[in-house]
């Protein structure tokens, strides 16, 4: 089985996932996190691996793959990644290990050095295979990980204020309260009110928000929906930054716990991958201990990333 785990990812930018840029979805009130900090390419010192210098320009290019709170930390991580890469290539040469490049999903061949790094680790590193007892213990200790999320089939009528002053918000609130009084608990009347008065695109589906998960909506709206009983329309409008919401919960679908038998294979794969990553990091750390590394520290924790 071909493995590309953390210690290889440190050395090969092409194996890392692309940075996730922030996004927002105003219709559901969700937004991404802060944009990763990409520090400028500094140079903090010389780095050698058994007498071979790591090119400072290569470190500067590598920095973009190591977002960090400050430039020095990014430089250290980039320099360490390239030092690990050089260390593994040197060991592969000593052992006479050759690489057999794979092709990715798009048919592009793996770089030769990357194939060599993969080959030497696959040859020299052996994970501890998990047994039935270990898998069962993991399942029992992490059973919450094997439960599907609760779902909420909900709908709303959004009344937007015509301005941002308090008078406009008060007028919008009054409209929302009028809708609540008019529709009561009648789902047909709620759907008609959504089609006629909602400022949200969901009006085309009778105000339906579909099946939402916890965290999909802004907290104030999410909390209000979860407080409703199945088939209930809220008796009070809820204010968010988008306007006033008249809310209805059609039904909730409780999450289900995946039985151990269905999860066992994935647990075994995960534990094997974890063991393999740990053993690969130890292997790299041992190579560093036997060699001469200058300018960066490579130990088991650092090699794991």
Indicate which CATH number applies to the domain containing 171.
3.10.50.40
Which of the listed residues 238, 253, 268 is the one where a domain comes to its end? 253
pLDDT of residue 206: 97
H or E segment at 123? Answer: helix 112-124
Q: Which of 28, 38, 6 is nearest to 281 (CA)?
A: 6
**pLDDT tens digits for 176-225?**
999 999 999 999 999 999 999 999 999 999 999 999 999 899 999 999 99
Contacts (Cβ under 8 Å, ≥6 apart) of 203: 157, 194, 195, 196, 197
Is 145 contained in some domain?
no
Domain count, the chain: 2
Same domain for 219 and 247? yes
Same domain for 102 and 157? no
Is 70 contained in some domain?
yes
Is 190 contained in some domain?
yes
Same domain for 249 and 266? no
Q: Which residues of the chain have pLDDT under 50?
A: 1-41
Write out the residue range of the structural domain in which residue 111 sits. Answer: 6-132+259-304
Is 209 contained in some domain?
yes
Is 138 contained in some domain?
no
pLDDT of residue 43: 57
Is 142 contained in some domain?
no
- Give the three-class secondary structure for 172: helix
- CA–CA dist 267, 298 (Å, integer): 30
- Give the three-class secondary structure for 29: coil
pLDDT of residue 303: 53
Is 1 contained in some domain?
no
Is 287 contained in some domain?
yes
Instruction: Say if CB 117 and CB 85 are below 8 A apart.
Output: yes
pLDDT of residue 252: 96
């Amino acid at each position: 089985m071909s493995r590309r785990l953390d210690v290889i990812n440190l050395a090969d930018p092409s194996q890392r996932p692309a940075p996730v840029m922030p996004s927002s979805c105003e219709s559901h009130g969700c937004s991404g996190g802060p944009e990763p900090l990409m520090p400028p390419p500094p140079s903090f010192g010389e780095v050698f691996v058994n007498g071979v210098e790591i090119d400072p320009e290569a470190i500067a290019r590598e920095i973009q793959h190591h977002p960090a709170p400050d430039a020095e930390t990014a430089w250290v991580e980039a320099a360490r990644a390239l030092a690990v890469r050089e260390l593994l290539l040197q060991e592969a040469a000593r052992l006479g290990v050759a690489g057999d490049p794979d092709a990715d999903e798009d048919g592009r061949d793996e770089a030769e050095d990357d194939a060599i790094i993969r080959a030497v680790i696959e040859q020299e590193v052996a994970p501890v295979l998990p047994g039935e007892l270990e898998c069962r213990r993991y399942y029992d200790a992490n059973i919450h990980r094997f439960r599907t999320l609760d779902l909420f089939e909900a709908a709303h009528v959004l009344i937007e204020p015509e301005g941002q002053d308090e008078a406009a918000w008060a007028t919008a609130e009054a409209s929302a309260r009028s809708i609540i009084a008019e529709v009561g608990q009648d789902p047909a009347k709620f759907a008609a009110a959504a089609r006629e008065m909602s400022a949200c695109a969901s009006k085309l589906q009778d105000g339906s928000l579909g099946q939402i998960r916890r965290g999909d909506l802004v907290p104030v709206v999410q909390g209000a929906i979860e407080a409703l009983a199945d088939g209930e329309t809220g008796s009070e409008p809820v204010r968010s930054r988008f306007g006033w919401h008249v809310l209805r919960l059609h039904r909730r679908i409780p999450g289900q716990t995946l039985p151990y038998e269905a999860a066992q294979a994935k647990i075994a794969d995960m534990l094997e991958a974890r063991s393999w990553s740990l053993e690969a990091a130890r292997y790299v750390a041992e190579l560093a201990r036997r060699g001469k590394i200058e300018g960066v520290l490579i130990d088991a924790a650092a090699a794991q990333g």
